[in-house]
Amino acid sequence: MKTAQLTRWKWILGVVIGAFLIYMGIRTWTKYSTGEPVTTSDLISIPILLMALMQLITWGLDSKAQRDEMGRQISAKSANISYYMMVVALFLLWIVDRIVFVRKDDLGNVTLFFALCLSLVLQPVVEFFLARRYK
């Protein structure tokens, strides 16, 4: 009974976070399409919501699974993998910035801002795929 209840709460929370993620994506795209200024908070909310959704999908509502031996191993391995992936991604984004984005935007360095958003999302995504490999 308790497991079914946790599964239901996990599903409900996932739907709510997913709905907010879709809403923020559509809202940001609409603002961009109509020429309204897209703020930093509009853009940063999307990776934060995606990070929360991936954490929920990966670990659920059971924090013990994340703290046990396998959870720590998954977290360590995903952190290691995501670090190297981030180094490569930042290097490639820097190259693109030097070649393509020579001008300044109202957001400043757009490529490095994208790298910040990528760094928020990458580790939970890697953890998700590693957790699925062990299950």
pLDDT in tens, 30-52: 999 999 998 999 889 999 999 88
User: Helix or strand or coil: residue 1?
Assistant: coil
Is the predicted pLDDT of residue 103 greater than 90, yes or no?
Answer: no
**Residue 60 token pair:** 């659920």
What phi and psi values does residue 72 have, to the nearest 5 degrees?
Answer: -65, -40
Give the separation between CA 105 and CA 97, rounded to whole angstroms.
12
Mean pLDDT of the chain: 81
Instruction: Answer yes or no: are the C-beta atoms of 86 and 118 closer than 8 Å.
Output: yes
Give the separation between CA 21 and CA 57, rounded to whole angstroms.
14
**Residue 112 token pair:** 């490095």
- Under the banding of pLDDT at 50, 70 and 90, the label for residue 70 is confident
